[in-house]
Each structure stands twice: as C-alpha cells, then as structure tokens.
A and B are shown apart, each in its own frame.
Chain A
Amino acid sequence: MYKNVAKYGFFIALAMILSYIEILIPFNLGIPGAKLGLANLVVFLLLYSEGVKSAAIVSFLRILLVGFTFGNLFSIFYSIAGGMLSLGVMALCQKSKLFSKIGVSMAGGVSHNIGQILAAAIVLQTPAVFYYLPFLLIAGLVTGGVIGVLGRQILKSVFTGTGL
C-alpha cells in the first residue's frame, strides 16, 4: 500500500511536470489544438511496466490535477474523453499482440484525438468539429509515433531490471 502511494505519487508528479513543460513550451505541430502530449509518455510506460490499472489511475489523476491547476472543467472533460479512450485502445492493442510498441502508441494517439473530437461535438452540439478529424488523425499518428519511440527507448534502458 505505502509502496503504491509513493509509486503513484512519483508517476503522477512526473506526468504533471511533463504537462507543465508542454504548457511552458508548446510544441507546435502546425495544427492548432494538436499537442505532443508528453504526459502520455508516462501513461505509456506504466501500461507496459505495470499494467492498465496503474496507467489508468495515473492518467486520470494527472488529468484532474492538471485540469484544476491550469485548465477548467471543460478542458478536464476533453482530456478525460481523450485519455481514457486512448488508454483503452492501447490496452486492447497491446493485448492483441498485433502491433509493436510504436504501433500501440500510434493507435493511442489517434484514438486520443477521436475521443477529444467526440467530446467537443457533445459540448458544442455541432458536427462542425468533425471537419478537424482528418488533420487530428494524422496528428495522432505523429504524436503517438514520437511517444512510442521515446517510450520504447526508455523501457529498454531504464525500466529493465529496476523492479518498477
């Protein structure tokens, strides 16, 4: 129990710092609204090192804390829609063993953006937001790919043999 508190505290803090870095230095991908989503790196690492439950706990709490600190109730709603759909899809893709780590992360990036678009369509009550979908699908591939490459490397060099 105490071990878990420390562990989750560490990973949530790490995810929050990555979110904060992204607020300080926005990584412009040429598509407005699209972000790299560095915090998803932590979720990705946890999914592979600890399992879907740990990843979900850290992802959810990170979104709540970052949302209350820097965002508002709507940004939390968008983030949860994207984050949870993304994690669900990544967990399924990982379990299916069809994709490599990079492929799993790409699927996560794409589904993250689909979740956010759906949330925006619900909040704004307009299908107009779906115009944005093709750009966000491609953005999801790119961001997911970057996170996947980083995550694979970190898993290989940091997580092996540490018992985390």
Chain B
Amino acid sequence: MKKKDFILISIVLLISALLLLFYNFIGKQDSDRVLVTIDGKEYLTLSLTEEIQLTIDAGNGKTNVLVIENKTADITDASCPDKLCVSHKSISKNGETIVCLPNKVVVQIIKSGEKGLDGIAGSIFWH
C-alpha cells in the first residue's frame, strides 16, 4: 500500500468523525412531535406524548404499524420483505429517524412547531 492510501483512509475517517460530532451537536434537544412522511409528502404528525397504535397506509397494500408509547415511537410491523424498519430500535430524540425504503415511509422525531425535515440527526435503518 502506498502512503497516499493512508492519507485517503485518514481523510475519510476524519470526515466521518466530524459528521458524527456535528450530528450529535445539533440534534439532541428534547422534542415532542412525530412526523410521518410517505414518498416525501407529509402524511401526518403526532404528539410523542400520546399513546397510540396506528397503521400507516403507504398505498398498494404497503403498510407499517407505528406505535407511540412512553415518549418513544417504534415501527412494530411492516409489509416490506426485510423488515429492517421493524428491527430498528424505537426513537425518541429530535432528528432520529426510521426509514422503510420499500414503502417509502419515513418516521422522524421533530421539535414541536418545526414543520419540515430539517433535522438530519438520529439513526436510520434503510433497505
């Protein structure tokens, strides 16, 4: 391996570390809204404080079951083949995200009053 290889590795690791630091810095405030979007369009927003179980209908028989309890949101069942969104841990902090790529469903925690998908922090599973 050449010296430039190690420079490449260092640069990529450095960028990764900086991004992680940046995400942690901007996105850990307490927040209380759950935003659900399908194919980039807002489907509904819910309060994180309510206790609710609902089925997100993404069309064409595609569904994700969203459960909100104890100030955390979780997808407990889905119609997608690999169910990565189901195995994702529940989310509660601002910017945290669960993505179901086959159904194009994004569940995200946002600050109350915040409308769009500004937060990029959180954790995401995709397919």
In the bound complex, do residue B120 and residue A33 qualify as a contact, i.e. CB atoms below 8 Å apart? Answer: no
In the bound complex, do residue B104 and residue A123 qualify as a contact, i.e. CB atoms below 8 Å apart? Answer: yes
A128 in contact with B117 given A33-B84, A103-B2, A120-B101 (CB within 8 Å):
yes
In the bound complex, do residue B1 and residue A137 qualify as a contact, i.e. CB atoms below 8 Å apart? Answer: no
Chain A positions 106 through 125: 1 when the CB is less than 8 Å from some CB of chain B, otherwise 0: 11001000000000100111
Q: Which of B17, B40, B101 has the most CB of A within 10 A?
A: B101
- Pick from A7-15, A45-53, A94-102 the stretch touching chain B: A94-102
Residues from chain A with Cβ under 8 Å of B9 in the complex: 106, 141
20 A-B pairs with CB atoms under 8 Å apart are A32-B125, A98-B4, A99-B4, A100-B1, A100-B5, A102-B1, A107-B8, A110-B12, A125-B39, A125-B40, A127-B120, A128-B97, A128-B106, A128-B108, A128-B120, A130-B120, A131-B120, A134-B23, A138-B12, A141-B9
In the bound complex, do residue A131 and residue B104 qualify as a contact, i.e. CB atoms below 8 Å apart? Answer: no
A residues sitting closer than 8 Å to B (CB atoms) are: 32-33, 72, 74, 98-100, 102-103, 106-107, 110, 120, 123-135, 137-138, 140-141
In the bound complex, do residue A141 and residue B13 qualify as a contact, i.e. CB atoms below 8 Å apart? Answer: yes
A74 vs B88: C-alpha distance in the bound complex, in angstroms? 21
Q: In this complex, what residue of B is CB-closest to A132?
A: B124
Q: In this complex, what residue of A is CB-closest to B125?
A: A32
- Judged by a CB distance under 8 angstroms, whether B99 is at the interface is yes
Residues from chain B with Cβ under 8 Å of A132 in the complex: 124, 126
A137 vs B14: C-alpha distance in the bound complex, in angstroms? 10
Q: Total number of A-B contacts with CB less than 8 angstroms?
A: 98
Q: In this complex, what residue of B is CB-closest to A93?
A: B8
In the bound complex, do residue B99 and residue A128 qualify as a contact, i.e. CB atoms below 8 Å apart? Answer: yes
Q: How far is the CB of A57 from chain B (nearest CB, A)?
A: 27
- Judged by a CB distance under 8 angstroms, whether B44 is at the interface is no
Q: How far is the CB of B32 from chain A (nearest CB, A)?
A: 18
Q: How far is the CB of B89 from chain A (nearest CB, A)?
A: 11
A133 vs B120: C-alpha distance in the bound complex, in angstroms? 11
Q: How far is the CB of B106 from chain A (nearest CB, A)?
A: 6
Contacts beyond the supplied A128-B97, A129-B124: 11 A-B pairs with Cβ under 8 Å: A100-B2, A102-B1, A125-B37, A125-B40, A128-B106, A131-B97, A131-B124, A137-B12, A138-B12, A140-B12, A141-B12
When the two chains form the complex, which single residue of B12, B37, B123 contacts A126, counting CB atoms closer than 8 Å?
A: B37
Residues from chain A with Cβ under 8 Å of B101 in the complex: 74, 120, 123-124
In the bound complex, do residue A134 and residue B17 qualify as a contact, i.e. CB atoms below 8 Å apart? Answer: yes
A39 vs B84: C-alpha distance in the bound complex, in angstroms? 23
In the bound complex, do residue A131 and residue B1 qualify as a contact, i.e. CB atoms below 8 Å apart? Answer: no
In the bound complex, do residue B16 and residue A138 qualify as a contact, i.e. CB atoms below 8 Å apart? Answer: yes
A99 vs B3: C-alpha distance in the bound complex, in angstroms? 8
A5 vs B39: C-alpha distance in the bound complex, in angstroms? 40
- Judged by a CB distance under 8 angstroms, whether B48 is at the interface is no
